[in-house]
Structure 1
């Protein structure tokens, strides 16, 4: 549909029911509170339609449809996708990567069916299931002064330069909390909004980095530091809307993730 056609439909809807769905500010439009409420209802309508189509397409145990997954990174979600595809080969999987805030928004806005992120979500609308505890590793360039040490403690990181993700990153938050509890202060000389970019920056000798153990990839340019700290970990969670827990594909994915769950 063209933009003028959509505008005409919206105007007709507003006139028929005597409501205002959008604030119009020049060329920009924003949903009113009433418009947002209606949007939530229509999302549920489309979800019910998709669930009905999945049920109708079901043949024996061969389910059909598309499952939309949002994840903070590929390392935890890919084993889930592999197992889910093994169990339901007829289901198409669509995946998007983003930060934790984006994932929660996508699930709440019905743009994502399930989400995989590295912290618990405290929202009454969200069903949040623990999946696995994930240790973090600190790594550096092979020529870094700390690289030759046989043992290190958190205190040895004092005054060191780090390459960190942006503020709001769960990994960064965990590191800063552990450092704070141990009265250790470090420098953030480089801040980057990408895990891959952080890794490359450390490999170029720009500072220390921290990633999950599952995300660390051995490289001749870098080494993991021998720091043993039980506090350095994140906890992977799988989330979906509470009202959609019984939706066909969502419920099967959550059940599969529960089977793979690692305490």
Structure 2
């Protein structure tokens, strides 16, 4: 019986996670041709294509998705074995992929972690809520910091706080002196909202529908840093979760009367990566922060 070798599974896993053969080869430190050959041999073993490519990028076939889940388990196990063999006491380097759907408190936790583990390479990217959840399902992150994650037997959730939605306006905006605002106050404002697929967009749309309100002008942005800059430039006002940015005198946040609900801010770890030393070290930083600060 023919069986795939570890290199084929590792190459396939990295091609999926990195998004291309080129990036997978760079991550693995091998040639593109080597990655391509491993992928082709694996496809020959399973008797069909694992990945299809188009102008929009690459997509897993049904067989590819099944093999990818197995390949990810293999890669995770190899990584865990390597850590155990290296010995926890001497392990001071490595790599973590961290994703989030809001910059705070993700960046503050990463900063604290980096002070303790300065030699660890961290890839950090902001995504909308839907993309972040999909990346967790596809094993494309070691750690995710997201609001209101869905329940899954494939990952473990640690709640680190709760936040409500607020209105962000420039400090010189007419609404900036208000203690609270109503959604009705936004009818004549240009409202900045995250892109399709975000938790914020769904929550705001539900609230507007509940009170039969509408905002005439909306601008869809990407992540909160883009929204923050747009607000400061006078493009509009923004609805986002409180504490989504470091405090600044140029930006004011105001509670919204019709949106008092709070939402869970969570650290999510895929179960197959949970026992990694660096993941456990990051969780210890989270635990320490919970005992010393309000996240």
Give how far 1:59 is off. 5.3
- Measured against aligned partners, the alpha-carbon deviations of 1:160-186 in whole angstroms (never above 9, x if no partner) come to 321222232222333333444444432
Determine if contact 1:21/1:32 at 8 Å carries over to the other structure: yes
2:50 counterpart of 1:19: no
Instruction: Give the alignment partner of residue 216 of structure 2, picking from 187, 190, 205.
Output: 187
Give how far 1:70 is off. 1.3
What SS does the corresponding residue of 1:250 show, helix, strand or coil? Answer: helix
From the CA coordinates, give the structure whose radius of gyration is larger: 1
Whole-angstrom distance in 2 between the partners of 1:182 and 1:152: 17
Instruction: Give the alignment partner of residue 243 of structure 2, picking from 208, 214, 237.
Output: 214
Determine if contact 1:137/1:213 at 8 Å carries over to the other structure: yes
Residue pairs, 1:84-163, within 5 angstroms: 84-142=113-171, 144-148=173-177, 150-154=178-182, 156-157=184-185, 159-161=187-189, 162-163=191-192
TM-score, length-scaled by structure 2: 0.71
Whole-angstrom distance in 2 between the partners of 1:210 and 1:112: 27
Q: Which residue of the partner structure matches residue 46 of structure 1? A: 75
Number of residue pairs the alignment of both structures matches:
260
Whole-angstrom distance in 2 between the partners of 1:9 and 1:152: 59
Q: Which residue of the partner structure matches residue 16 of structure 2? A: none
Q: Which residue of the partner structure matches residue 81 of structure 1? A: 110
Determine if contact 2:83/2:276 at 8 Å carries over to the other structure: no
Q: Which residue of the partner structure matches residue 234 of structure 1? A: 263
Q: Which residue of the partner structure matches residue 56 of structure 1? A: 85
Whole-angstrom distance in 2 between the partners of 1:29 and 1:176: 32
Determine if contact 2:130/2:198 at 8 Å carries over to the other structure: no
TM-score, length-scaled by structure 1: 0.78
Give how far 1:237 is off. 1.0
Give how far 1:202 is off. 2.5
- Structure 2: state its 5+ residue gaps: 1-29
Question: Quick check: 225-234 or 182-191, which moved more?
Answer: 225-234
Determine if contact 1:63/1:88 at 8 Å carries over to the other structure: yes
- Cα distance 1:152–1:244, how it changes in 2: closer, same or farther (>3 A)? closer
Pairwise CA RMSD: 3.4
- Cα distance 1:179–1:54, how it changes in 2: closer, same or farther (>3 A)? same
